[in-house]
Structure 1
């Protein structure tokens, strides 16, 4: 890891909300105790975590990287040092995972790679700053092997290789030595009155021609394609696709366009733009395809066209970057590879929508505590965040599959309003509301994915297509400026807890009988994260339809037995001499009053209650019909018999029954 990343991770950043740091996990058990007239159960609820028995002194500070190689050691360090610890063994090219001091886990995911492996196989931050190495110009570290010409002839202009797949472009004629500036290489004067500009992206390249002055005639740019077995095809909607021998698309480029240097005050973009005509020709010897770009002579000759004019920002990607945008009606097809994302409208006519997809596999089956989508807004149509007509930008969960390269205004995936979140934050308009992050709290969407809903990603759009205060322009995963800083890229940060395992019933044992009217209910459960666990118990009627009372155990170590003793009176059992006691109860589903027969409506997972025997009297010893436990009742006043009929166990962290206890941060 480089120094900057070490420094970033060395300080503890608290969880998203104070309510998240108070509890670690709970388990849900339903413990069914049946007598003639009652059933008991147990469930779990979030609860405040007990204060630690020993804590570092208030003045203790831990310096150095907050890192550990595996989950177990990271969790221990996080608790002891009271700061988040990165689990370095779980790094991927687009995700970072931390153990939090409260026992939860946080994973931050990006729509594209933020790191790549160096020659030693170590993860390092991507750095697309160009340098000349071995007669070629290359980025310091990218997710693909990218190389540009260092000038001269006989070399490819640019090529991108990933694994065995390679595609490239050439130039007809000699190239001057390029001027290098961060990720950009400029070859001056090679086109008609203009420069050829190449930019290294994380997984590909962008190339365009910049005309510095108005040309005297028609302009044509020819780029021979060296594609390593691929063939370029123009799609029906005008995009370019690099396809292998089986017709599978391996790289794409959006519809070529051009724009001038004028500024539209509403959109923040160029005032004049037009599409570029594209042809796929053959080289003189017929061995290669040639991409031919023909900008409109009328556009170039217009008196109001402001120079310089940029022609064809063709972005060629060979990786899974999954953010893009479309706009009616100037950019109707996918702009995958663009350095920005857009949403909303600035005039009620032009409407933009962005599509993003993140890897959510990490928290499948987990209890999501917090989920935040964050984008960096560098342009807004207003500073207003409230008032008439201000509705903001909404995030929705996508519910159908889509191709980041093929999505179009006429081919958009479906979405759902369930869990949708809108914000009106305005950043990037002027010095009163400068550029900064916009954040959507999408807990419900994160939990839907964790619960098994298919992950098709997210859509950003204005809440209203007529709200001109909603126009936003964000940085995308392809925004590069050399040394990579993921802080401005789209990210999804999710904090979650692993649900405890199934509860094991400890006492009373299944099918046991007791004359104790205040039995201690006990069980145990294992938390996969090793966090402390508590159980919540409920006592129900025999029919399993009404809860009579409930209680909770204290927090105990994972796997340790814990219990709860219901305090009387949780039932009524007046005696009448030597006669059988009567108790307040919910009537049984079947059978006469006073003694229910086994109910035909059982609690979930619970078999019918076993038959009962008459209570003992006069100190006589008797055995129950079902269990090997025995009862001695020296008192002449009989007590009812309670039996365990079954146990129902699930893992349900955060189940609220009867109500959650207040949660406070662990200090």
Structure 2
């Protein structure tokens, strides 16, 4: 599960007077009455079983409510959706691709309607949200793709160049894989021109190449970070100097950035119904370039938000992890990051926007609130402090150069998890009671948290988290 804001509340049960707690913290009331309210039923079941019981009627795309044996309720709020509503019911997010009647391919249950081409000369990919859509077209006929779980590969869209798409919960990642120097010398890669058509949307680009698609009311519907490219260079050292027995580097999975890769941003040009990407020639054709070379544009349409601010690419937005480049060539990540990592010379902070609107209810009193997040990787087993701050809001333009203002530090936790069996991955819990109480009292719709290493020049403070 992703990052969780757990709020313990005292509640006034329907049909009773103001909530009152006995010595065990239970809300007073007659257990012999046959409760009809879902909360009452769950509280009674929890009291009888001695275990928390979920109030299923209170579940939303991003939250769950549990009745506790003590008579209190705990609300878990997630930074990103865990479920999506389909045909009137909530389903777990499932990005596995399935074939549509028209031959296109779509993920089974996601926030945004995504359709990948089944081959031919139609749109390469279409995304739709709130009745408005974007459609990308490859400049040429597409081969029938190879489908693997949530991804498709179109082989040899240019000689020795593959095109890959991967579905996410709120959009898609896209990469061009240039597999040789001969392929990189193809004049078609000097400028890569996609057809781009907006259905009720206007697409704009800022000076850094971050794209936004807005509706006539000016609301952002889709975003795309600065497109990046990188080669397959790697660094063989870095982890060996840590002096702690364990793996030499983070696990080589789709959420791990490449160590030692040469990288650059790509130029972006919008011209009518065309989007052009201009690769960096030094990375594409340089003497030291290691192939394959990966070229990455990607798109997100999530209503919910977390973000990475990364000093190495200070103008690039990694909103909802979108656009982050990984060691296996895939794009997009669900891993938040904090601290300084000397192998890649990267410094990161991570942000989480949590929904607090349903804390306004007058029959709820916040008694305790905890922000809980899984620490999946640390630089070593040496415990180092991580700070949690309340900040101003984040948005699709959040980057290292556009970080939200810090308001107050709420907690600090000193720990290290995930480096080896001596300190396995596990949750860190931050006390954010003051922030939750302020959100309820001031009727804030959301609250935003920042995770940051206490010492941002100490490599032992580098950590990765499940967002």
Bucket of the pairwise TM-score, normalised by the shorter protein: 0.7 to 0.9
Indicate the residue corresponding to 1:136 in structure 2. Answer: 104
Is the partner of 2:142 in helix, strand or coil? Answer: coil
Give the direction of change, closer, same or farther, for the CA distance of 1:258–1:435 in structure 2 (3 Å limit): farther
**Do residues 109 (structure 1) and 93 (structure 2) align?**
no
Give the CA deviation at 1:192: 4.7
CA–CA distance in 1 between the matches of 2:226 and 2:48?
55
CA–CA distance in 2 between the matches of 1:148 and 1:104?
46
Q: Is the 8 A contact 1:315 1:337 kept in 2?
A: no
Higher relative contact order (CA 8 A, sep 6+): 1
1:615-652 deviations in Å (ceiling 9; x for gaps): xxxxxxxxxxxxxxxxxxxxxxxxxxxxxxxxxxxxxx
Indicate the residue corresponding to 1:458 in structure 2. Answer: 449
Indicate the residue corresponding to 2:245 in structure 1. Answer: none
| Structure-1-length-normalised TM-score | 0.57
Q: 2:352 aligns with which of 349, 356, 378?
A: 356
Indicate the residue corresponding to 1:203 in structure 2. Answer: 170
Give the CA deviation at 1:254: 0.7
Indicate the residue corresponding to 2:390 in structure 1. Answer: 397
TM alignment of 1:241-640, pairs within 5 A: 241-264=212-235, 265=238, 269-270=257-258, 271=260, 272-282=262-272, 289-312=273-296, 314-338=297-321, 339=333, 340-347=335-342, 350-364=346-360, 366-385=364-383, 390=384, 392-398=385-391, 400=392, 402-418=393-409, 420-452=410-442, 454=444, 455-476=446-467
Q: Is the 8 A contact 1:428 1:436 kept in 2?
A: yes
Indicate the residue corresponding to 1:238 in structure 2. Answer: 209
CA–CA distance in 2 between the matches of 1:240 and 1:467?
34
Is the partner of 1:445 in helix, strand or coil? Answer: helix
Question: Comparing both structures, which one devotes a greater share of its residues to strand?
Answer: 2
Q: Is the 8 A contact 2:394 2:448 kept in 1?
A: no
Question: Comparing both structures, which one devotes a greater share of its residues to helix?
Answer: 2
Is the partner of 1:80 in helix, strand or coil? Answer: helix
Give the CA deviation at 1:305: 2.7
Q: Is the 8 A contact 2:370 2:433 kept in 1?
A: yes
Give the direction of change, closer, same or farther, for the CA distance of 1:212–1:429 in structure 2 (3 Å limit): farther
Indicate the residue corresponding to 1:13 in structure 2. Answer: none
**Do residues 149 (structure 1) and 117 (structure 2) align?**
yes
Give the direction of change, closer, same or farther, for the CA distance of 1:222–1:475 in structure 2 (3 Å limit): farther
CA–CA distance in 2 between the matches of 1:425 and 1:170?
48
Give the CA deviation at 1:69: 7.5
Q: Is the 8 A contact 1:24 1:49 kept in 2?
A: no
Give the CA deviation at 1:45: 9.1
Gaps of 5+ in 1: 6-15, 26-43, 56-67, 283-288, 477-667
CA–CA distance in 1 between the matches of 2:226 and 2:95?
25
Is the partner of 1:262 in helix, strand or coil? Answer: coil
Q: Is the 8 A contact 1:326 1:332 kept in 2?
A: no
1:574-619 deviations in Å (ceiling 9; x for gaps): xxxxxxxxxxxxxxxxxxxxxxxxxxxxxxxxxxxxxxxxxxxxxx
CA–CA distance in 2 between the matches of 1:89 and 1:346?
44
- RMSD of equivalent CA atoms: 3.1
Give the CA deviation at 1:129: 0.3
CA–CA distance in 2 between the matches of 1:211 and 1:310?
6
